[in-house]
């Protein structure tokens, strides 16, 4: 089994409603698909998602594609994908950073290997611990009343009872009011968390987290800019409410530094941020070793990317904060023939072979740039 080709597709998928984050409002989400094919024509597929071009982070869709095509693909063609960890180590010696690009390439090799063995991909990561995991929904319509309606409907359908509120855009005091109104409306039936996406400075964060903690918020994600680990340490020290590292936590080395300096006391895992499935398990091990709570994060992947995260997360013992693998529910369209299932406030972990998702080539062609 040797890799013959690597193809990368950039896909723009419309969302069911605008999704407002501190730095960008998503109406069309850009995902990147990678296909690796071996010499016998067997295929492995994978996905990573990006948010708002370069507004969320450095890994833009265009850079991911060009860096795979130019630098990573030539390093993996001719190799046996069974050795995906060794191959990714060799890639890391030649390609710095580019975690999203590395992640999508590694997962495609994992899918290929698992499919050829006719097993779910989680078998390659030590086996499944969870058959399903709790799944949060992000309230981010940009309108408090709409968010409350969405939350109530979601509770009624037994879809979600953890809600993450995207705040950080506009006046911070209004952000706090917005959160408190939502807690008043549904806080007795649901756990409410917030994600500030780096938008506050330390003084603002200190004032606002005080009020959020008082109001019953159960976790505050990345209140400060990714560079401000010292500020994150002071907030972690000061408040009882858990402070979660997201944008500040990329590499395995970041996870160690955050743990050492307690620049947060919980981690948002994301396979794309950490540069792949293998690296993500290492980050999870640092959390386990230091006693930090974990969140099964998302970059809002569609069905395939969500299946990849779900399968990997199913091999990790404990998610204190559950997961936020709601991505497929935010999209109008699906690029796989089958769908991710949600039941009783949980995401059902898809089975294999591979990640268990069948690509809909017609949809891929329809939504791909330049195809
Ligand atoms: C993030 O910052 O965590 C996750 C959920 C969501 O709505 O946006 C993402 C990104
Ligand atoms: Mg976040």
pLDDT in tens, 192-203: 999 999 999 999
Q: How far is the CA of 116 from the centre of ligand 2 (A)?
A: 35
Q: Residue 138: CB within 6 Å of ligand 1? A: yes
Architecture of domain 3-119+359-367: 2-Layer Sandwich (3.30)
pLDDT tens per residue, range 7-17: 999 999 999 99
**Ramachandran quadrant class, 282 (left: phi over 0; alpha: psi -120 to 50; beta: rest):** alpha
| Domain edges within the chain | 3-119+359-367, 124-348
Query: Is residue 125 within 8 Å of 354, Cβ to Cβ?
Result: no
Mutate to test the pocket of ligand 1, among 195, 223, 331 (most ligand atoms within 8 A of CB): 195
CA distance linking residue 303 with residue 193, whole number of Å? 24
Nearest CA to ligand 1 atom 7: 138
**Mean of pLDDT values over 334-355:** 97
300 lines ligand 1 (CB under 6 A): yes
The pLDDT of residue 370 is 80
Gap between the Cα atoms of 45 and 52, Å rounded: 23
Question: Is the confidence at residue 329, as pLDDT, over 90?
Answer: yes
Ligand 1 geometric centre to CA of 264 (Å)? 17
Tell whether ligand 1 has an atom less than 6 A from the beta carbon of residue 246. yes
Q: Using a 6 Å cutoff on CB, does residue 297 contact ligand 1?
A: yes
Residue nearest to atom 1 of ligand 1 (CA): 299
Distance from the CA of 195 to the center of ligand 2, in angstroms? 6
- The span from the CA of 191 to the CA of 259, in Å, is 25
User: Taking residues 205-214, what's their average pLDDT?
Assistant: 98
d(CA 196, CA 219): 11
Question: Nearest to residue 219, comparing CAs of 188, 237, 241, 199?
Answer: 241
What is the position in ligand 1's atom list of the atom closest to the CA of 197? 2
Those residues whose beta carbon sits under 5 angstroms from the ion ligand 2 are: 195, 221, 246
Q: Is the pLDDT of residue 371 over 90?
A: no
pLDDT tens, residue by residue, 93-149: 999 999 999 999 999 999 999 999 999 999 999 999 999 999 999 999 989 999 999
**pLDDT score of 80 more than 80:** yes
Question: Do 99 and 124 form a contact (C-beta atoms < 8 A)?
Answer: no
- Are 185 and 152 in contact, with CB atoms under 8 Å apart? yes
Element (H, E) at 151: helix 144-156
pLDDT at 30 over 80: yes
Mutate to test the pocket of ligand 1, among 194, 299, 305, 309 (most ligand atoms within 8 A of CB): 299
Report how far ligand 2's centroid is from the alpha carbon of 277 (Å): 19
Asked about 166 being catalytic, the answer comes back as yes
pLDDT band of 236, cuts 50, 70, 90: very high
Assigned CATH class of 124-348: alpha beta
Kindly report the average pLDDT of the chain as a whole number: 97
Percent of the chain with pLDDT over 90: 98
Same CATH topology for 3-119+359-367 and 124-348: the answer is no
pLDDT recorded at residue 291: 98
- Tell me what pLDDT residue 355 has: 98
Asked, as a colleague might, if the bond just before 41 is cis with ω within 30 of 0, I would say no
Identify the nearest ligand to the CA of 138 by its number.
1
Query: Three-state SS for 77?
Result: coil
Alpha carbons 217 and 191: distance in angstroms, whole number: 8
Using the mean position of ligand 1's atoms as its centre, give its distance from the Cα of residue 166 in Å.
Answer: 8
| 106 sits in which H/E element | helix 99-117
Q: Which among 355, 289, 344 is positioned nearest to 111, based on CA atoms?
A: 355
The active-site residue, picked from 65, 102, 164, 166, is: 166
Q: What distance lies between CA 141 and its chain's CA centroid?
A: 19
Q: Is the CB of 197 under 6 A from ligand 1?
A: yes
Checking ipTM against 0.95, whether it exceeds it is yes
Output the pLDDT for position 62. 97
């Amino acid at each position: 089994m040797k890799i013959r080709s690597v193809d990368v597709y950039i896909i723009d998928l419309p969302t069911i409603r605008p999704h407002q984050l501190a730095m960008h409002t998503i109406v069309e989400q850009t995902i990147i698909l990678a296909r690796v094919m071996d010499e016998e024509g067997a295929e492995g597929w994978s996905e990573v998602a990006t948010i708002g071009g370069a507004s969320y982070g450095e890994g833009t869709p265009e850079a991911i594609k060009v860096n795979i095509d130019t630098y990573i693909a030539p390093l993996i063609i001719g190799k046996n994908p069974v050795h995906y960890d060794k191959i990714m180590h060799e890639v890391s010696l030649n390609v710095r950073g580019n975690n999203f690009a590395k992640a999508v390439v590694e997962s495609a090799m994992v899918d290929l290997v698992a499919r050829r063995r006719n097993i779910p991909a989680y078998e390659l990561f030590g086996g499944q611990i969870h058959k399903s995991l709790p799944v949060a929904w992000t309230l981010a319509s940009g309108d408090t009343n709409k968010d409350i309606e969405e939350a109530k409907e979601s509770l009624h359908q037994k879809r979600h009872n953890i809600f993450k509120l995207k705040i950080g855009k506009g006046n911070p005091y209004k952000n706090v009011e917005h959160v408190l109104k939502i807690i008043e409306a549904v806080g007795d039936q649901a756990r409410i968390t917030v994600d500030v996406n780096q938008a506050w400075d330390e003084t603002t964060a200190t004032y606002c987290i005080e009020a959020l903690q008082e109001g019953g918020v159960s976790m505050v994600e990345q209140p400060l800019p990714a560079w401000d680990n010292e500020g994150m340490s002071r907030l972690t020290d000061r408040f009882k409410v858990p402070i979660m590292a997201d944008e500040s936590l990329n590499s395995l080395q970041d996870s160690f530094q955050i743990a050492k300096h307690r620049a947060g006391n919980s981690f948002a895992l994301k396979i794309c941020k950490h540069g792949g499935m293998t690296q993500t398990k290492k980050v999870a091990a640092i959390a386990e070793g230091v006693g930090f709570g974990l969140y099964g994060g998302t970059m809002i992947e569609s069905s395939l990317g969500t299946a990849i995260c779900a399968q990997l997360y199913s091999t990790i013992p404990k998610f204190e904060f559950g997961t936020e693998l709601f991505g497929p529910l935010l999209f109008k369209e699906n690029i796989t023939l089958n769908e991710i299932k949600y039941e009783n406030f949980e995401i059902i972990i898809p089975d294999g072979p591979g990640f268990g998702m069948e690509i809909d080539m017609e949809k891929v062609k329809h939504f791909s740039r330049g195809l």
